[in-house]
């Protein structure tokens, strides 16, 4: 049949006409293929064509090459797309990737502060407008690599900093997390009034489809254990962990990813009441519900103990697209068997595929399936780095300034004879970015382009000021030099997910000894690089000043901007800062609330040149 007569290929046709026309043409095999998302590591033009795959992803750190160029990314995505387009119906695939804090898998991309830092930004109440701008910048950098879909924002409400993903959460306070769903219109564009709430929206080829995750209660697990059990009543689930999904759906979010965690012992991937009953039927969400990576496998202990049961239960619960990522033939065979033997009704498959097609039509990927290099200029652009630097400035929280209020240490004088800068986190892009940066777990060293805090300090001080950098100075060295003051930058090493779960939240060595050796001898400001509140109480008295910098990303200049008074501190704690870990979980409003620094705390300073 001529192209012109294929209603689904005609962009002038109404959305539902296109969906209906395409659905009626599809075989069961083509429908099941649309529900499959595989990792790029096992994808190819041939695999896309043979198995009718609907989506491809980069799992954490999954890149076509080390320091892959924009061209390499675009060519890879286009090759998979050509495979999809060569199928009988030519349904384009969509490529998804994590954008946890910018386009974080891509070398040279702008890396913004992790969400916990963005949750510390303050206008009247958080800084949603800043986060929306970050979303728009991230969309441009993601599109530059040919990718139209990101697994962001994470709208977890982290209720226990022992959770290894706490830095992916904006705050312990659902009101801040709700405000930060402004990332969605930043990524996707503003939903027009004539587009019904609940219907996915995408505003053109410079925007990307978003993903609210992880549905629901991922930040409330027992002791913060990743992927564990959220033991809360219905009121707490719906008042703490659910509200940001209302905002996400109202803003037109295209997809929702389901959490690995359980609610009161029921795996979220198996929770039909909350996925189909509430999200789809009550909230009227018309986009795609996507599983997490091997989410079906992890429905059982041990994982994949009964994969056929997992497929049946997960798909019947309401999962529309399955992030396999590797063993896709086993999934396809299993789902085909279950449908043909009526364990899964065809109506469920049709609901899933309609949602997938709806998002693909709304994304315009039928009309614009292939990418080009026209947006290459956005990767790590000066404008985006300046935006990230602004975000860093607004994210820092000043917790102590002077051993007495009358003698504040900050802002530091740019002109001094000789200053000491100590701590490996001062001169390490990888450390200041944290997890989900280039590699899934992140890592130390010069892993991507950016400005270290040490470079930023050197850029900012007076040219006559001697800057002495020592990774791990001993007390003798510190005492034998006549330093005017010291800047100590210590903290956590990069981690992601379960690798970040911690029951003690101590500052890794040699951080504590650096604080002791330096702050015991000279005036010092300590800058903590961490994905969450950490155990600082034993050291605070020794410090003259204390700054929580979270995980600032590539633009370390934002830290120096505040230390030396070019801008004032404005950030406020998005998380309660505990005294000892045996107080945890402890959130604002709890009866046993006895923090070292309370939620919302943050000292301010005026810019040095303020009139
Ligand atoms: O070798 N091991 O020990 C190992 C352990 C666990 C692994 O599990 C996997 O590791 C990562 C990289 O392979 C994957 O990204 C995911 S995480 C998941 O992935 C989605 C897509 O990236 C994100 O949007 C979600 O927000 C996130 O929850 C999974 O946990 C892999 C390897």
φ/ψ of residue 150, rounded to 5 = -125, 150
Give nearest CA residue, ligand 1 atom 25. Answer: 292
Give nearest CA residue, ligand 1 atom 20. Answer: 293
Catalytic residues: 292, 497
What does the pLDDT read at residue 127? 85
Å from CA of 439 to ligand 1 middle: 11
Spatial distance between the Cα atoms of 367 and 96, rounded to a whole number of angstroms: 18
Give nearest CA residue, ligand 1 atom 11. Answer: 60
- Ligand 1 pocket test: pick from 37, 58, 59, 289 the residue with the most ligand atoms within 8 Å of its Cβ: 59
What does the pLDDT read at residue 610? 66
State the 10-residue block means of pLDDT for the chain, 611 residues long: 80 97 98 98 98 98 98 98 98 98 98 98 79 98 98 98 98 97 98 93 97 98 98 98 98 98 98 98 98 98 97 99 98 98 98 98 98 98 98 98 94 98 97 98 98 98 98 96 97 98 97 97 98 98 98 98 97 98 98 97 90 57
pTM confidence score = 0.98
Å from CA of 417 to ligand 1 middle: 49
Q: The tokens of 512 are what?
A: 């504590």
Å from CA of 225 to ligand 1 middle: 15
- Ligand 1 pocket test: pick from 62, 142, 226, 293 the residue with the most ligand atoms within 8 Å of its Cβ: 293
Kind plus residue range of the DSSP H or E element containing 470: strand 466-470
Is the Cβ atom of 98 under 6 angstroms away from ligand 1?
Answer: yes
Is the Cβ atom of 361 under 6 angstroms away from ligand 1?
Answer: no
Spatial distance between the Cα atoms of 447 and 430, rounded to a whole number of angstroms: 6
Q: The tokens of 135 are what?
A: 């979303």
Give the per-residue SS3 of 487-516. EEEEECCCCCHHHHCCCCCCCCCCHHHHHH
Is the Cβ atom of 485 under 6 angstroms away from ligand 1?
Answer: no
ipTM of the complex: 0.95
What does the pLDDT read at residue 405? 85
Three-state secondary-structure class, residue 229: strand
Give nearest CA residue, ligand 1 atom 17. Answer: 293
Is the Cβ atom of 219 under 6 angstroms away from ligand 1?
Answer: no
Side-chain half-sphere exposure of 391, counting CA atoms within 13 A = 33
Å from CA of 498 to ligand 1 middle: 10
Q: Using alpha carbons, select from 154, 153, 289 the residue that is nearest to residue 210.
A: 153
Cis ω on the peptide bond leading into residue 264 (within 30° of 0)? no
Å from CA of 59 to ligand 1 middle: 6
What does the pLDDT read at residue 609? 77
Q: The tokens of 73 are what?
A: 């990314």
Cis ω on the peptide bond leading into residue 169 (within 30° of 0)? no
Å from CA of 380 to ligand 1 middle: 25
Is the Cβ atom of 325 under 6 angstroms away from ligand 1?
Answer: no
Q: Using an 8 Å Cβ cutoff, are 39 and 56 in contact?
A: yes
């Amino acid at each position: 049949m001529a192209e012109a007569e294929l209603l689904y290929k005609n962009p002038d046709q109404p959305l539902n006409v296109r969906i209906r026309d395409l659905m009626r043409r599809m075989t069961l095999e083509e429908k099941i293929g649309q529900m499959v998302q595989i990792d790029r590591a096992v994808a190819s033009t041939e695999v896309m064509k043979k198995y009718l795959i609907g989506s491809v992803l980069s799992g954490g750190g999954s890149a076509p090459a080390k320091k892959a160029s924009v061209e390499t990314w675009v060519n890879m995505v286009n090759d998979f797309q050509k495979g999809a387009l060569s199928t009988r119906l030519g349904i384009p695939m969509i490529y998804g990737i994590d954008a946890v804090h910018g386009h974080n898998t891509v070398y040279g991309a702008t890396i913004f502060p992790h969400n916990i830092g963005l949750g510390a930004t303050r206008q009247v109440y958080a800084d949603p407008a800043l986060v929306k701008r970050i979303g728009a910048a991230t969309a441009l950098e993601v599109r530059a690599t040919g990718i139209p879909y990101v697994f962001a924002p994470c709208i977890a409400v982290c209720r226990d900093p022992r959770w290894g993903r706490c830095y992916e959460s904006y705050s312990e306070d659902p009101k801040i997390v709700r405000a930060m769903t402004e990332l969605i219109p930043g990524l996707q564009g503003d939903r027009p009034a004539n587009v019904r709430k609940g219907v996915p929206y995408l505003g053109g080829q410079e925007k990307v489809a978003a993903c609210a995750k992880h549905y629901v209660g991922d930040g409330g697990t027992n002791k913060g254990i990743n992927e564990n059990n959220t033991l809360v009543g219905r009121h707490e689930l719906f008042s703490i962990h659910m509200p940001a999904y209302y905002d996400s759906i109202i803003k037109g979010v295209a997809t929702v990813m389901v959490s690995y965690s359980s609610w009161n012992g029921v795996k979220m991937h198996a929770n039909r009441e909350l996925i189909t009953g509430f999200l789809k039927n009550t909230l009227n969400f018309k986009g795609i519900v996507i599983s997490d990576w091997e989410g079906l496998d992890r429905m059982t202990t041990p994982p994949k103990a009964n994969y056929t049961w997992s497929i049946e239960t997960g798909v019947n619960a309401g999962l529309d697209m399955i992030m396999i990522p590797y063993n896709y033939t086993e999934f396809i065979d299993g789902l085909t068997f279950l449908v043909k033997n009526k364990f899964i009704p065809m109506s469920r498959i049709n609901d899933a595929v309609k949602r997938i097609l709806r998002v693909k039509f709304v994304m315009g990927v039928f009309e614009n399936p292939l990418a080009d290099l026209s947006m290459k200029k956005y990767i790590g652009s000066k404008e985006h780095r300046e935006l990230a630097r602004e975000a860093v400035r607004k994210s820092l929280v000043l917790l102590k300034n002077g051993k007495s209020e009358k003698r504040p240490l900050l802002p530091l004088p740019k002109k001094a004879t000789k200053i000491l800068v100590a701590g490996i986190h001062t001169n390490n892009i990888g450390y200041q970015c944290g997890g989900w940066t280039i590699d899934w777990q992140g890592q130390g060293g010069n892993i991507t382009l950016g400005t270290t805090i040490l470079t930023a300090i050197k850029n900012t001080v007076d040219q006559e000021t001697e800057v002495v950098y020592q990774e791990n100075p001993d007390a003798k060295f510190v005492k034998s030099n006549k330093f005017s003051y010291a800047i100590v930058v210590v903290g956590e090493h990069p981690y992601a997910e379960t690798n970040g779960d911690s029951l003690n939240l101590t500052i890794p060595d040699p951080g504590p000894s650096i604080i002791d050796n330096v702050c015991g001898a000279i005036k010092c400001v300590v800058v903590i690089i961490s994905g969450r509140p950490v155990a600082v109480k034993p050291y605070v008295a020794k410090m003259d000043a204390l700054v929580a910098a979270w995980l600032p990303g590539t633009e370390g200049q934002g830290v120096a901007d505040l230390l030396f008074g070019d801008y004032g501190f404005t950030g406020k704690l998005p998380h309660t800062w505990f005294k000892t870990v045996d107080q945890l979980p402890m959130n604002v409003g709890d009866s046993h609330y006895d923090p070292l620094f309370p939620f919302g705390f943050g000292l301010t300073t005026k810019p040095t040149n303020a009139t």
